[in-house]
Amino acid sequence: MNFIDLRSDTVTRPSAGMREAMMRAEVGDDVFGEDPTAEKLQKRVAELFKKEAALFVPSGTMGNEICVKVHTQPGEEVIVEQDSHVIIYETGGPAFLSQVQLKPLAGNRGMFTAQQVKEAIRYDAYYMPRTSLICLENTHGRSAGAVLPIDEIRRVRELALAEHIPMHLDGARLWNASVASGIPVSEYAQCFDSLSVCFSKGLGAPVGSMIVGSRDFIERARKMRKIFGGGMRQIGILAAAALYALDHNVDRLSEDHKKAKHLAQRLSSLKKLGVDTSNVETNMVIMDIRKTGKTQDEVLGMLRGQGVLLTPEGRSSIRAVTHLDVSAEEVDKAANAFERLFG
């Protein structure tokens, strides 16, 4: 059976053009700083985000964890949104790798307020952990790919500067946020001391993320990348895929957003599913399945039997993610499957 794979935009595969670019990539030893294609990519991304430097890493999780490590010291505390990737999907990495504790705040679709942050910052006392970092995620995956409002980000940034606390952005899908909002990625970037951005999701590259920040920060991040096992050799093959993605796959993200909104619109009429079309801003649709009377595994199994793959989300929902390897026609076929099962 040929499946319509809506589990994640991470399932995208390199296109023929991307494979050709990878095959022709000029390479060298990146640990020695001698891979010209990697250097080209890092320079381009740094310029794109209007930061001093950038560093290629194998994954978004490694990017986030390196940034937490560089920003903090053991025994300190990091303010995070309670449903963000760094606390939910990185297997306790901040505690394991950086020996810091996380202070989760309840956000509204992924965004906490400056007032919440103000109340969460520890006051100076020897028996309290020092608040050493504030983390956000944009778009916010567990909020159906919500785009964080830049005005509130700026208010948090103003507070962070006053309190001398750095900010990190998990921008795995920041290009989706930028395309949806019309705000350049560099404008988001100015609110953060470090960012991690991903090439292997909506942009369709097979592997890779980038850390962006000041020159000094990136030099310290390079050391941590080596310690964490992320120093690689002829990575120009991977960097070439990312360069191709930047050239060809950023603007087309709007197509994925249209497909997600179309899917949400069709599913919103099904009484057994809870779909809020107003929450679909980018390429994700979350469906509450409690009215089906079935478990997540049962619903996912039924859909799989119809040739459609999705993933669980939270405890009572499932998630669909549109991407460049799923056509508009396939999205309609997926909607048809839902209607047959839950109409």
CATH number of the CATH domain containing 282? 3.90.1150.10
pLDDT band at 305 (very low <50, low <70, confident <90, very high): very high
- Whether residue 196 is found in the same domain as residue 319: no
CB 133 within 8 A of CB 192: no
- Whether residue 269 is found in the same domain as residue 188: no
Q: What is the pLDDT of residue 1?
A: 72
* 343 pLDDT above the threshold of 90: no
If you average pLDDT over residues 63-79, what whole number do you get?
98
pLDDT tens digits, residue range 220-234? 999 999 999 999 999
Side by side, the strands of the sheet bearing 317-321 are 284-288, 317-321, 311-313
Element (H, E) at 92: none
Q: Is residue 125 part of a domain?
A: yes
Q: Is residue 8 part of a domain?
A: no
Element (H, E) at 135: strand 131-137
Q: Is residue 335 part of a domain?
A: yes
- Whether residue 200 is found in the same domain as residue 287: no
Beta bridge pairs of residue 103: 79
**End-of-domain residue from the set 186, 218, 248:** 248
DSSP string, 138-150: SSBGGGTSBPPPH
If you average pLDDT over residues 148-175, what whole number do you get?
98
* 200 pLDDT above the threshold of 90: yes
CB 206 within 8 A of CB 182: no
- Whether residue 242 is found in the same domain as residue 256: no
**End-of-domain residue from the set 220, 248, 276:** 248
Q: What is the pLDDT of residue 281?
A: 97
Q: Is residue 6 part of a domain?
A: no
d(CA 153, CA 131): 18
291: containing domain: 252-342
How many independent structural domains does the chain possess? Answer: 2
Q: What is the pLDDT of residue 71?
A: 98
Phi, psi angle pair for 263, to nearest 5°: -60, -45
Q: What is the pLDDT of residue 324?
A: 97
CB 14 within 8 A of CB 342: no
- Whether residue 283 is found in the same domain as residue 161: no
CB 308 within 8 A of CB 334: yes
**End-of-domain residue from the set 193, 219, 248:** 248
Q: Is residue 2 part of a domain?
A: no
If you average pLDDT over residues 126-138, what whole number do you get?
97
The length of the chain is: 343
- Whether residue 119 is found in the same domain as residue 27: yes
* 119 pLDDT above the threshold of 90: yes
d(CA 95, CA 269): 44
Beta bridge pairs of residue 56: 210
Q: Is residue 7 part of a domain?
A: no
- Whether residue 273 is found in the same domain as residue 243: no
If you average pLDDT over residues 49-76, what whole number do you get?
98
CB 319 within 8 A of CB 286: yes
Q: Is residue 273 part of a domain?
A: yes
d(CA 132, CA 160): 10
pLDDT band at 23 (very low <50, low <70, confident <90, very high): very high
d(CA 188, CA 202): 18
- Whether residue 335 is found in the same domain as residue 186: no
CB 308 within 8 A of CB 3: yes
Q: Is residue 182 part of a domain?
A: yes
Residue partners of 202: CB distance under 8 A and separation at least 6: 9, 12, 173, 175, 176, 249, 253, 256, 283, 323, 324
Using left for φ > 0, alpha for ψ between -120 and 50, and beta otherwise, residue 145 falls in left
CB 55 within 8 A of CB 219: no
